[in-house]
Amino acid sequence: MITIQPDASATWAEPIDMLYACHGRVKNFCRQLRILPDYLAQNGINQAVKNDVQQILNYFNLAAPLHHDDEEKDFFPALVQVAPQAQANINELERQHIKLHENWTALAKQLNALIQNECDEVDVQLIEQFIAGYDVHIALEEPLFEMGKQYLSAEQLHAIGKIMAARRKIS
């Protein structure tokens, strides 16, 4: 498996770029997940697989929930204030966040078992369900990021970026 490094060019000063960067990491980790079953079938479990799976677990256990908080607590409320037409999509995205977390819980259980040598494969259907959920989600969400670039002021974006960084205790 190939470990893909996150986009280092995004900063908290540009919170929408950070939201996009998170989506980039999600897409990269989903690509890794998609190849995982075939890799395991051909090569078995090795330390490289365990390392990559641990990175995926870390991301979706820690960073993804923070990303969803960034959206639900800061970005979406600010956006709907200036672009009320976004409310229906925001409602749907928030419903999807719940399903994404449910899908992750099921998949994470298997991934944890894999790295603890309690199993030697992962359910392909769980992986595909997880990836499909994010594919739909990102396709609906990224146009809202563009709306944010269009409608939110530099001051609003700066304030959102500071909150996002503080959520992660980054100065």
Domains of the chain, each with CATH number or no CATH: 15-167 (1.20.120.520)
Model confidence pLDDT, tens digit, residues 117-170: 999 999 999 999 999 999 999 999 999 999 999 999 999 999 999 999 999 987
Instruction: Give the pair of three-digit tokens for residue 99.
Output: 């399903």
What's residue 8's pLDDT? 53
Find the mean pLDDT for residues 114-118.
97
What's residue 106's pLDDT? 97
Model confidence pLDDT, tens digit, residues 62-102: 999 999 999 999 999 999 999 999 999 999 999 999 999 99
